[in-house]
Chains A and B, each alone.
Chain A
């Protein structure tokens, strides 16, 4: 392969993985804006999305599209249950304690997933075949990459519409900015927090499902993807939605180009090194923090 072709290939891979990071980062941001916490159970939402998809599509031979939506709804429900149970009823409302609580919940979910599915890596069929499409420059792209881009763009547009155009979305943003004022406007803060967990569950599941056909999936695939998504969120500016997209894409590209041009051994190190460098120069991330200014 020619060098330029190789670069093109790395960029395609980088954008694909970056899109996944962006979706995961969005999940982190939504819960952060609603509650101020970092929800580490986000990692498990990713794994569960992949494993639900595997169970339905491969084990039970459910139609892929139906399996996709059932898995999404299932993980959203798990997100909602986490909020309605342990998070809402935690005796302490301290942010740091709630964050630890999410780490504990994350362990419980992963443990349960391990019991249910074992530790094997399993495959999920690609959404529409595996025949690569050859691009003019000489690089090739498999259909699943296109699915990942298309679904990511759709998810971002839907989120944008929801938060900018619907009253419920505006109410969620208002709650993120000022809980007391939101309550005084008649908004149920509890319900907004519940929605944020359900949304993040759905987003995590989508990320886990669309990547599964490319990289296979297991009970703990979400850990690394989740941490990278978290890094992407910080890189872009924690809580900032445009930042999540930018952070995800930058991280994905760096990783892929770094792995291809330098060494795949260092791909994670390169990504995290750049993250540290950016934070050193711009402590609030590339785009700055999001709208939330907790009162």
Chain B
């Protein structure tokens, strides 16, 4: 479904990613792991068309999308839930969700969109109680749920999640993780970026480890969870 080949990216002369390659099959959950500044967000922004690479190709369903605009990429069904949520703060919870469905404004009927709306309120019941509230008044955990809900309203074929657990209390984080598990059962293809490597690998099929802009390791989630190097660097000593 997604084939990234030899991609490099720079921020004004400083290299952020160096010849990265990555393959994702349909229905798969990939975990992309790496410390702060490793280049994880940059990779997602390359896929979303917000950052443009100097080298390499990004094929989605057989089409090179490197030259596409961000909105065209969203049209194709690649939807990113950005790091730090980036909600439309002064707009209501409901408006945020409606805008999530913006890419479907022409193709799909209202019924399907309102069905998805109901479905998202089932996934995140707390949002249902806050529909008329401004998004900026929600708690951190609720905002993350809204960000994910907004992404889902676009009916992603490929969902890019950038550190959904960042800054959340452990309990809320568990909730988010379990929802990612449910999305997987529904067949959504997910590229999950996490600093919390253990939690990410537990729900992922395979994982990639990024370090200072280079791809260090890749393998099945179970192998990576057992990997000695990785244990030291990202998983802590608890096993």
Which residues of chain A have a CB within 8 Å of any CB of chain B? 167, 170-171, 173-174, 177-178, 180-188, 291, 293, 295
B74 at the interface (CB under 8 A from A): yes
Evaluate contact between B79 and A184: CB separation under 8 angstroms. Answer: yes
**Chain B 78-106 interface mask (CB, 8 Å, partner A; 1/0):** 01101000111111000100111011010
Q: Give bound CA distance, A277 to B39, whole Å.
A: 50
Evaluate contact between B95 and A170: CB separation under 8 angstroms. Answer: yes
**Within B132-157, which residues are at the interface with A (CB < 8 Å)?**
150, 154
Of A167, A177, A180, A183, the residue contacting B91 (CB under 8 A) is A177
Closest partner residue, chain A, to B95 (CB atom): A170
A183 and B50 contact, Cβ closer than 8 Å, known pairs A170-B98, A173-B88, A178-B88:
yes
Evaluate contact between B74 and A186: CB separation under 8 angstroms. Answer: yes
Q: How far is the CB of B210 from chain A (nearest CB, A)?
A: 21
Of A177, A185, A293, the residue contacting B102 (CB under 8 A) is A185
Q: Give bound CA distance, A79 to B87, whole Å.
A: 30
Evaluate contact between A184 and B98: CB separation under 8 angstroms. Answer: no
Residues in chain A near residue B86, CB distance under 8 A: 178, 180-181, 184, 295
Evaluate contact between A181 and B87: CB separation under 8 angstroms. Answer: yes
Evaluate contact between B89 and A293: CB separation under 8 angstroms. Answer: yes
Q: Give bound CA distance, A181 to B71, whole Å.
A: 11
Closest partner residue, chain A, to B87 (CB atom): A181
Q: How far is the CB of A187 from chain B (nearest CB, A)?
A: 6
Main secondary structure of the interface of A (DSSP, over half): helix
Evaluate contact between B82 and A186: CB separation under 8 angstroms. Answer: no
How many residues of chain B have a CB within 8 Å of chain A?
25
Residues in chain A near residue B75, CB distance under 8 A: 186
A184 and B80 contact, Cβ closer than 8 Å, known pairs A170-B91, A173-B88, A173-B91:
yes
Closest partner residue, chain A, to B82 (CB atom): A184
Residues in chain A near residue B69, CB distance under 8 A: 188
Which residues of chain B have a CB within 8 Å of any CB of chain A? 48, 50, 69-71, 74-75, 79-80, 82, 86-91, 95, 98-100, 102-103, 105, 150, 154
Evaluate contact between B100 and A177: CB separation under 8 angstroms. Answer: no
Q: How far is the CB of B52 from chain A (nearest CB, A)?
A: 13
Evaluate contact between B71 and A187: CB separation under 8 angstroms. Answer: yes
Evaluate contact between B82 and A181: CB separation under 8 angstroms. Answer: yes
Residues in chain B near residue A167, CB distance under 8 A: 98-99, 102, 105
Of A184, A186, A291, the residue contacting B90 (CB under 8 A) is A291
Evaluate contact between B91 and A185: CB separation under 8 angstroms. Answer: no
Residues in chain A near residue B89, CB distance under 8 A: 177-178, 293
Evaluate contact between A180 and B88: CB separation under 8 angstroms. Answer: no
Residues in chain A near residue B154, CB distance under 8 A: 185-186
Closest partner residue, chain A, to B90 (CB atom): A291
Q: Give bound CA distance, A295 to B75, whole Å.
A: 23
Of B50, B71, B91, B98, the residue contacting A186 (CB under 8 A) is B71
Of A173, A174, A178, A188, the residue contacting B71 (CB under 8 A) is A188
Residues in chain A near residue B48, CB distance under 8 A: 184
Residues in chain A near residue B91, CB distance under 8 A: 170, 173-174, 177, 291
Extra A-B contacts (9), CB below 8 Å, given A178-B86, A181-B82, A183-B71: A174-B88, A177-B88, A178-B87, A178-B89, A182-B88, A183-B50, A185-B103, A185-B154, A186-B75
Q: Give bound CA distance, A186 to B76, whole Å.
A: 10
Residue among A181, A188, A291 with most chain B CB within 10 A: A181
Q: Give bound CA distance, A182 to B79, whole Å.
A: 12
Closest partner residue, chain A, to B153 (CB atom): A185
Residue among A183, A186, A293 with most chain B CB within 10 A: A186
Evaluate contact between A184 and B70: CB separation under 8 angstroms. Answer: yes
Closest partner residue, chain B, to A173 (CB atom): B91
Closest partner residue, chain A, to B79 (CB atom): A184
Question: What 7 pairs across the A-B complex have the smallest Cβ distances?
Answer: A186-B74, A186-B103, A291-B90, A181-B86, A183-B70, A174-B88, A177-B88
Residues in chain B near residue A184, CB distance under 8 A: 48, 50, 70, 74, 79-80, 82, 86
Residues in chain B near residue A180, CB distance under 8 A: 50, 82, 86
Q: Give bound CA distance, A8 to B80, whole Å.
A: 58
Q: Give bound CA distance, A65 to B103, whole Å.
A: 37
Evaluate contact between A185 and B90: CB separation under 8 angstroms. Answer: no
